[in-house]
Structure 1
Amino acid sequence: MESTICPWCQTEIVWDEELGAEEQCPYCHNELKGYRTLNIQLGDEEEFEDEADGDEEEADYWEEGDTHLDAIRRVESFVAGGGDLLAYESGVEKVLDGQDEVPECPHCREYMLHAGQQEISGGSFEPVVPKGMQSPLLSGTLKLNVYVCSACFSVSRFLAEEERNTFIRTVSEKA
């Protein structure tokens, strides 16, 4: 009988000679033949700083349209202008505590503050009639809840609760 020690779980594995060795450990299910090592070089701090500087230059172009970084800069400019960041954060928490709905920002995943409602009238909204239906999904005057992200300051709009219920009824009954 042939035996092997798993490099991952340090268990001795005894193989049947007829079946031969397997590619995975039967205990931890890790790959036995592809055991990989990680080499960490210890050296001068100056070498690491040089490498880190190169990484920062490459990272500048990684996500050029990153709105989250822009938001951080905006908040930093608020603090640099004499603003109190702690007061801002506690104010945001108070507003969020009073909200019934707290959506996440689609850009940075922070919570959004309910800033108000927007009314869209028939002149600024042109509804379409989907295939298989006789009437549009939304019609007339609509109310949208407007939310502002507390971190990146992006704005999102969602149907107000009355319009959501009307939308659900329309889709349920006419589809």
Structure 2
Amino acid sequence: METTICPWCQTEIVWDEELGPEEECPYCHNELKGYRTLNIALGSEEELEEEEETQEEDDDLSLWGEHDESHLNAIRRVEAFAADGGDLLAYESGVEKVLDRQDEVPECPHCREYMIFAGTETLGAEFKPASPGGLREPLVKTSAKLNVYVCSACFHVGRFLSEDDRNALIRTVSES
């Protein structure tokens, strides 16, 4: 009897000599003869350093090929905090403690880090509520409250309707 190990699931396959080798693994059903390996030839250290520098330059560019200065400036501020003797580890653990106590933890739309609840804000007289066609009331009242969040990494500020005002918006739209 011939024994082979499946390259996909690492299971030992024992074949019957009369039937011969199988073309497919009986456990994971992957093709045994179609398994391909990838060989990577490493160049000299100089070539690797050049590739790393090119990759770093590419990482600094946004999707549109422009520098994302706001995110880079925020990173520089955090690094400046550390350079002035600030303890980044203490900052990160403090952020974790604050996030653990929050009911809602939205993600920052810029860097995907979690945002810290900073307070509430009330829409004022400057806010002009819209009443889309077919609705009897405006979507959001001028007295609506916004929850304000700050990203702990890039310091982006985000505002979201409070829970009560979200429910009011849902009722307004669904009653139309």
TM-score by length of 1: 0.71
Q: Is contact 1:67–1:107 with CA below 8 Å preserved after alignment?
A: no
| Aligned positions of 1:1-175 closer than 5 A | 8=7, 11=13, 25-32=25-32, 34-61=34-61, 63=63, 64-65=67-68, 68-131=71-134, 133-172=135-174, 174-175=175-176
Q: What residue ranges of structure 1 are gaps of 5+ in the alignment?
A: none
For the 8 Å contact 1:92–1:150, the answer to whether it is kept is yes
- Please give the root-mean-square deviation of Cα atoms over the aligned residues, in Å: 3.5
Tell me: CA distance 1:74–1:28, structure 2 relative to 1, closer, same or farther (3 Å). Answer: same
Task: Give 1:156 deviation, angstroms.
Answer: 0.8
Look up the SS of the partner of 2:107 in the other structure: coil
**Cα drift, residue 53 of structure 1:** 2.8
Q: SS of the counterpart of 1:128?
A: coil
Q: Which moved more, 1:52-61 or 1:107-116?
A: 52-61
Deviation per CA, 1:98-139, whole angstroms, max 9, x where unpaired? 4332222222222211111111124323312244x3322222
8 Å Cα contact 1:6/1:13 also seen in 2 = no
TM-score, L = length of structure 2 = 0.70
Q: Deviations over 1:4-53 (max 9, x none)?
A: x7862564678xx9xxx96x545323245543221122454333223323
2:170 aligned counterpart, secondary structure: helix
Letter in 2 for 1:117: T
Aligned residues between the structures: 168
Whole-angstrom distance in 1 between the partners of 2:144 and 2:129: 11
Q: CA deviation at 1:69?
A: 4.5
Change over 3 Å in CA distance of 1:164–1:53 after alignment to 2? closer
Q: 1:62 to 1:113 in 2, by over 3 A?
A: closer
CA distance in 1, matches of 2:26, 2:69: 45
In structure 2, stretches of 5+ residues that fail to align are: none
Report the identity percentage. Answer: 58
Instruction: Report the Cα distance in structure 1 between the residues aligned to 2:53 and 2:27, rounded to whole angstroms.
Output: 44
Q: Can you list the C-alpha shifts for 1:51-78, whole angstroms capped at 9, x where unaligned? A: 3233333444355338654432221022
| Aligned CA distance change for structure 1 residues 94 and 124 (closer, same or farther; 3 Å) | same
